[in-house]
Structure 1
Amino acid sequence: MSDSELQMQVGHFFATPVAATLLEDSEARNADLKQRIFAERDREDSIAASNLGGWHSGRPMEQWGGPRVEEILSAACQMADRLTLDRSGQSVRINWSTRAWANINEKGHGNEFHYHPGVYWSGTYYVDDGGRATDESCGGEFEIMDPRGPGVAMYAPSLVFDEGGHNTGGTNVRFTPRAGLLILFPAWLYHQVRPYLGPTQRISIAFNLSVDDSRQP
């Protein structure tokens, strides 16, 4: 049988959605957020979480971040709505419960690989990329790990499955921070922040979305 005669169906299963968008009006939004984040840092010491150095806010940012944080979380919920279906493939109406916090990384600071248990979606918004958007030597990239681990690349690391995607099986993928960029990903996906090496600060807002059962229609 020749290749032209071979008939087959191919399904791509176990995909991992990672979505990104640039929010409008980011310059004004980020100026306001910077002021609020620095003020909160002056009031509260950093807590210890996945951060390797840097400052990680403790109080929920919904309590002190102002309306600009609400804009970011509203956009994230819209993204989550478009990416979340029921088991029959139908759109569902979900009331998302949010929890946000701020991070400031200076030279040498980063976040170790981790995941966010007990929630459905997680995400990051960049208030200040610390120069990384135009200078790759600044570091501070957001990095995700193939949830299947190294198994898909252990036998023949130069080969990949034809998954109709980015040919990233068994590897890590990095995303370049950019002021105004909003990224959404499954909360169980292992991720980290590469060390920031620039001369200023890398400032981000991280958040979780969970299903608020008490508010379901």
Structure 2
Amino acid sequence: MSDQIQLIKIILDYVEQYSKSHKNDGIESFTHFLNEQVFEKNDIPARNLNKDEFHKENYNNYKRYAEVEFSTLLTNLYRFAKHYIKKAFQNTEIRTIDEFGFLATLIRQESLQKKDLINQHFLETSSGSEILKRLYSKGFIKESRDENDKRAKLVSLTPKGKEVIMNSFDQMYRVSEIIIGNLTDEELKQSLKIFNKLSDFHKNIDRNDKSSDLNKIYHKYISQDES
């Protein structure tokens, strides 16, 4: 009984903390708050890369290494997504997810310098320029002078480009629902938190060490060993 009373006291402490920073948002909001307090703010030990040293001879048992299995599953999910996206574009003039991404960005931000649009999608300049050429040749985008930077060109949607991207949104949303698959709402929320954390990690590398070799990236961001 004493353990139960202690547990109730702990929960009441969390309720008091929650009430100071939240309005009466309901049990679901409190559950998220409790999850953050209990699981994310505790001293969870960092992942120990040397706990199960990698041996390439174990290639038949790759699931022994969580890092390898995670990367494999992520790659497979990307391939599944590409397959569904290809189906979504079958009856449109859009051919790739990058073309769709450029158009979707321009419908939100109206006009951007070419380099800014390319950088937002984490593409090499040459690859991004080829996408822009294709969109321009299809009549989806137009160029104009940037009054704030005479050396740069702005790109924006044409009426045709806007029509094409708007007509593709329904199918792409359907793709998103298929990709999410059988995840519950709670699992989806947790997945978004995890993937946003991982995305921020890689954006930092992209900003600061995009041209660095793989070993430097590994030692700087993973092993913390500069030797």
Short-chain TM bin: under 0.3
Higher strand share: 1
Point out which structure has higher relative CO (alpha carbons under 8 A, 6+ apart): 1
Structure number, greater radius of gyration: 2
Q: What TM-score results when the alignment is normalised by the length of structure 2?
A: 0.22
Higher helix share: 2
Q: What TM-score results when the alignment is normalised by the length of structure 1?
A: 0.23
